[in-house]
Amino acid sequence: MGVLAKENMLHILAVIIIVSLFLNPASVKAGFFEEKDTSVQESGCSECDSRVVSLNSDLKEKVVAIERAISNNFNKKENTYGNEIVLFIDLTNNSSDAAVNALVKFKKGDPAWKVRGVITCSKDNLKEKLLQKQKFFSNGIEFSIDLSGNLAKESGIFKTPAYVIIYNGKHHKFAGFIDLNDEISKLDK
Give the count of domains, the chain. 3
- Band of pLDDT at residue 21, cut at 50, 70 and 90: low
Question: Does pTM top 0.75 for this prediction?
Answer: no
Instruction: Count CB neighbours of 14 within 10 A.
Output: 10
Residues 10 and 93 in one domain: no
Flag whether 38 is in a domain: no
Residues 156 and 173 in one domain: yes
pLDDT at 73 over 70: no
Is residue 119 within 8 A of residue 142, CB to CB? The reply is no
Phi, psi angle pair for 110, to nearest 5°: -135, 75
What confidence score (pLDDT) does residue 51 get? 46
User: Looking only at Cα atoms, what is the longest distance across the chain?
Assistant: 104
What confidence score (pLDDT) does residue 178 get? 83
What confidence score (pLDDT) does residue 30 get? 53
∠ CA 126-158-153 to the nearest 5 degrees? 80
Residue 100 exposure: Cα atoms within 13 Å on the Cβ side:
22
Domain that holds residue 165: 84-187
Flag whether 135 is in a domain: yes
Alpha-carbon distances, residue 25 vs 13, 18, 29, 85 (angstroms): 18, 10, 7, 75
Flag whether 175 is in a domain: yes
